[in-house]
A and B are shown apart, each in its own frame.
Chain A
Amino acid sequence: MSAKANSNKKPFSRRKFLRRTAVVLGGSIVAGYLGCSPTRRYLAQTVEGMDFPAVISSMKPDFWFQVLSDNSILFKSPKIEMGQNVITGLAMLAAEELEIPLERIKVEHASTGSGIIDSLGTGGSNSTLSLYIPVREVAATMREMLKTAAAEQWGVALSSVTAKDGVLSSGDKTMTYAEIAASTTEWKTPKTPKLKPASAFKYVGKTVKRIDLQEKVMGTALYTIDHERNGLLHAITLECPYLNGKIKSIDTSEAAKMPDVVKVIQEEDLVAVVATNRYAAEMAVRKIKVEWDIPKAWQQKEIIELVTVGKGKRVNVQDKGSARSILSNSKAKVFEQAYRTPMAAHAQMETYGTLAHVENNEASIVIGTQAPGMIQGQLASALGIKKDKVDVQAPYLGGGFGRKMGRNNAAQAARISKIVGAPIKLIPTREQEFQNSVYRPNTHHVLKAVFNEQGGLEAISHDQATPDMVMKDLGGNFALSMVGADWLSAGHGASILYPVKNRSTSIWNVEVPYPSGIWRSVGIFANTFAIESFMNELAYHTKQDPIEMRLKLLKGGDEINQRMSKVLEVLKDKADWAAERKPGVGRSVAICNDRKTIAAAAIEVSIVDGAIKVLKVTEVVDCGIAINPGGIHQQVEGAIMMGISAALYEEITIADGKISASNYHEYPLATLNDVPEIQVVILENAPEPFGIGEPPLGPVAPAIAGALLDLRGKALRSLPFRLNEG
């Protein structure tokens, strides 16, 4: 299995490795491995010979691992922990090669000043996959460096030195990692060692409790808002609740008179109150009298109309056979349905705030972000200073879900700190978090299908209208216009996976007046809802069992299709599909492939007191190698709850130019009351670990839709579901 596991990853060349290996700047710091952020690694695989940035700094060593004096190892994670439990998985991988017990590995996020951060950020459920080999390579390299140093110090052959449980030994000589680290000044870099085969894994595949568990239960885990600085002041900015609104007139005199207010800032687009405490800052900012210039008072109806198939720029992302002509010339009945998903908020529990201290043209920033590298760049340009003068530290995130890749207030915080000459904390109010945010865009989908005389699916097409999610952030309008539509994220999952001979998919890029961004599971959410709801309707109208119909369709498909079939077979069994149907209960199924993770859910629903009640969810996931099964369970459960929430409750609307939800009372989420019976099953039908944070969200909403169709005979085709709509 391991040979295949590594087959599609190129090992680093010796030359590159040397360039990227830094060693030692004193005392207990041992080894590092530079320039191997997954982004660069990914690029390196595709762009040979590209030039890497200078990575060895004599002042700030960039290291992943440090041996600490208590013989534990500090792992500076290039990936951010936002609840998805990535740090535990990465530490498990490191422990395999470091030959040190997992409990002796401490993890913290790398900061821009003290480690390797991932310049693309943490998201897209790719962390474990992208680092599966690099983390182990670096760990193995470090282990070999420690062994080499010991061999030299002892004057023995390297082959006689073994590393186990943080102790090096040769014959009767032993030394801890910490001891060798403290007594070595010159390090030799070995060739990239051969990695342990999967069969020798000690931790991988076993459930390990989260590394951050204890501190998150005892209340000692620190988030941005928990950080302190001497002389810290609290700021609140004035934010316009209207889309693209600007200040017409403003009077801050009352705010300035409020108690404990230190300063009211009014500088270009920045209006903020700085006070000695948060309460005073918040109460004072409410005293600002402002009139807004609103370019257009957008209404919900207009937003929906903008996002409609047929409008905007079309990009064909899938064209197999001749689906379009078959569908338009068909004499047989063409099934056609349209689906909509609404705008949504991330509504993560921690609002996206910043602690900033700008002093002597250097910035020290604490921000619970998914993308510290991006923040560093933004701040450098906002402050007009060099990137290396901006240190960005990311503490734990109180939820990310894509929100903390987008619009942030770091530059505002830094400007305020510079103006008042003190460290400041700028934590948005919940109202600002809802109304001055970035949103999952609303989408529109049209699906068409026609059956042949044998009852097989002859042709199928999918058109998705969607605003962009990340293209503009990555490359601006130019990049978006070059690629036509955001097939990378918003259009992710739009293509028809079933090996129907004639299939075609188009993405229509539309412009919207609100900031659109990624939301857990990215395009998979909307596209799986539309495609899989449509599949369930096809099954319903042709009187086929929704699982059997899919299994039939998947026959003769590619490797992904085969894995999908296996997942469905297991689902059929685990969800007790053959059991007698319960009266008053509807059931259905949905499946998706999110970057090689297959997730399928079978869901049972009923109507209780006029409301939709999800009774039972069985979800089967095949994410390849399951590094930490317990962690996977947790992610799947979370995705099921978020899927139920999105399907039953969540919707952001726009009225009179404003985001209508200002706080949780206007944006209800699933609660304890919505917890169904949950069963999670993990399959490992691939030799690599794929993502798990997002994929299991995909099938939840369409499986609920299918179950409601099964129960009521009427299809609901837009989210959130409202029984009076169908």
Chain B
Amino acid sequence: MKIDFSINKKPVSVDVDPEMPLLWVVRDELQLKATKFGCGRAMCGACTLHVDGEVYRSCALPVQYAAGKEVTTLEGLSTETQIHPIQQAWIEEEVPQCGYCQPGFMMAAAKLIQEIPNPSDEDIKSNISNICRCGTHPRIIKAIKRAAAIQQASKI
């Protein structure tokens, strides 16, 4: 089935089984590799991306749900001229270790600072359930707060 949507602000058209998870469409049909496969059961969050600004676990989102919508992956978070506050903070706090879970975390975090511009530790802990095995959690919390500050500063 032909499904049209927009990915990172570019229109695309894919001809796949409408039930195919958006994860595999993004990775293997559209060759955007930042979105990762982790558990295939919507649990670990490695495949987190945005559809029309909302957070989804793309391994459990059939591609048909993206029809006519705007999909954003990590590759589309920053623009060519402006690095996203989350990515800037992730670099400044040197968050990643193995790096595999980080795209999903960053996508969840980008939504978080949009919804809660000045998040507390508690806000961060209760709103992001992604899994990391390297133990980058302490830095993720620091980086989200830093990103929120960067975002605030850029608005002034």
Where the two chains meet, the residues of A that have a C-beta atom closer than 8 Å to any C-beta of B are 82-85, 209-210, 212-214, 216-223, 225-226, 228, 234, 259-260, 277-280, 282, 346-351, 396-401, 427, 429-430, 630, 634, 637-642, 645, 663-665, 669-675, 678
CB distance A349 to B133 under 8 Å?
yes
CB distance A399 to B100 under 8 Å?
yes
Using CB atoms, name the residue of chain A closest to B39: A430
Distance A427 CA – B40 CA, assembled complex (angstroms): 12
Q: Determine which of A210, A213, A634, A665 lies in contact with B41 in the assembled complex, contact meaning CB atoms within 8 Å.
A: A665
Q: Determine which of B24, B75, B95 lies in contact with A219 in the assembled complex, contact meaning CB atoms within 8 Å.
A: B75
CB distance B129 to A671 under 8 Å?
yes
Q: Kindly provide the distance from the CB of B33 to the nearest chain A CB, expressed in whole angstroms.
A: 4
Distance A396 CA – B28 CA, assembled complex (angstroms): 19
CB distance A397 to B98 under 8 Å?
yes
- Beyond A350-B38, A399-B134, A642-B134, 20 additional contacts (C-beta under 8 Å) are A84-B97, A216-B99, A225-B36, A278-B28, A279-B19, A282-B40, A348-B98, A349-B44, A396-B99, A399-B98, A429-B40, A430-B41, A634-B136, A637-B139, A638-B134, A638-B136, A641-B138, A669-B131, A672-B128, A673-B125
Distance A617 CA – B9 CA, assembled complex (angstroms): 44
9 tightest A-B CB contacts, nearest first = A219-B34, A641-B135, A398-B100, A83-B98, A216-B99, A638-B135, A83-B97, A219-B74, A226-B33
CB distance A217 to B106 under 8 Å?
yes
Distance A401 CA – B97 CA, assembled complex (angstroms): 12
CB distance A638 to B40 under 8 Å?
no
* Interface: B48 (CB within 8 A): no
CB distance B33 to A222 under 8 Å?
yes
Distance A220 CA – B131 CA, assembled complex (angstroms): 20
Listed by A's residue number, 30 A-B pairs whose Cβ atoms lie within 8 Å are: A83-B134, A213-B91, A216-B102, A217-B90, A217-B91, A219-B34, A219-B73, A220-B34, A225-B37, A260-B17, A278-B24, A279-B21, A279-B24, A349-B46, A349-B101, A397-B98, A398-B36, A398-B99, A429-B40, A634-B94, A642-B135, A645-B135, A664-B44, A671-B129, A671-B137, A673-B126, A674-B137, A675-B138, A675-B141, A678-B138
Beyond A672-B140, A672-B141, whether A350 also contacts B97 by CB under 8 A is no
Using CB atoms, name the residue of chain B closest to A84: B97
Chain A residues near B90 (CB-CB < 8 A): 217
Q: Determine which of B29, B43, B121, B126 lies in contact with A664 in the assembled complex, contact meaning CB atoms within 8 Å.
A: B43
CB distance A396 to B40 under 8 Å?
no
* Interface: B30 (CB within 8 A): no
Chain A residues near B19 (CB-CB < 8 A): 279
Chain B residues near A349 (CB-CB < 8 A): 36, 38, 44, 46, 98, 100-101, 131-133
Chain B residues near A346 (CB-CB < 8 A): 133
* Interface: B16 (CB within 8 A): yes
Chain A residues near B21 (CB-CB < 8 A): 279
Beyond A430-B39, A637-B139, A674-B137, whether A216 also contacts B96 by CB under 8 A is yes
Q: Kindly provide the distance from the CB of A58 to the nearest chain B CB, expressed in whole angstroms.
A: 36
Interface size on B, residues (CB 8 A): 56
CB distance B100 to A217 under 8 Å?
no
Distance A84 CA – B135 CA, assembled complex (angstroms): 11
Using CB atoms, name the residue of chain B closest to A673: B125
CB distance A83 to B124 under 8 Å?
no
Chain B residues near A638 (CB-CB < 8 A): 97, 134-136
* Interface: B81 (CB within 8 A): no
Chain A residues near B24 (CB-CB < 8 A): 277-279
Find the residue from B17, B46, B95, B133 having the highest chain A CB count within 10 A: B133
CB distance A279 to B36 under 8 Å?
no
Beyond A349-B101, A665-B43, whether A217 also contacts B95 by CB under 8 A is yes
Q: Mark B132-152, 1 if CB is under 8 A from A, else 0.
A: 111111111100000000000
Chain A residues near B39 (CB-CB < 8 A): 430, 663-664
Chain A residues near B87 (CB-CB < 8 A): 217-218
Q: Determine which of A209, A260, A642, A678 lies in contact with B133 in the assembled complex, contact meaning CB atoms within 8 Å.
A: A642
Distance A6 CA – B47 CA, assembled complex (angstroms): 47
CB distance B133 to A669 under 8 Å?
yes
Within B102-132, which residues are at the interface with A (CB < 8 Å)?
Answer: 102-103, 106, 121, 124-126, 128-129, 131-132
Q: Determine which of A218, A350, A401 lies in contact with B100 in the assembled complex, contact meaning CB atoms within 8 Å.
A: A350
CB distance B106 to A637 under 8 Å?
no
Chain B residues near A678 (CB-CB < 8 A): 138
Q: Kindly provide the distance from the CB of A57 to the nearest chain B CB, expressed in whole angstroms.
A: 32
Using CB atoms, name the residue of chain B closest to A82: B98
Using CB atoms, name the residue of chain B closest to A676: B138
CB distance B135 to A639 under 8 Å?
yes
Q: Kindly provide the distance from the CB of B143 to the nearest chain A CB, expressed in whole angstroms.
A: 10
Q: Kindly provide the distance from the CB of B94 to the nearest chain A CB, expressed in whole angstroms.
A: 6
Distance A675 CA – B132 CA, assembled complex (angstroms): 12
Using CB atoms, name the residue of chain B closest to A638: B135
Using CB atoms, name the residue of chain A closest to B97: A83
* Interface: B31 (CB within 8 A): yes
Q: Determine which of B17, B99, B131 lies in contact with A671 in the assembled complex, contact meaning CB atoms within 8 Å.
A: B131
Using CB atoms, name the residue of chain A closest to B89: A217
CB distance A350 to B91 under 8 Å?
no
Chain A residues near B129 (CB-CB < 8 A): 671-672
Distance A399 CA – B132 CA, assembled complex (angstroms): 10
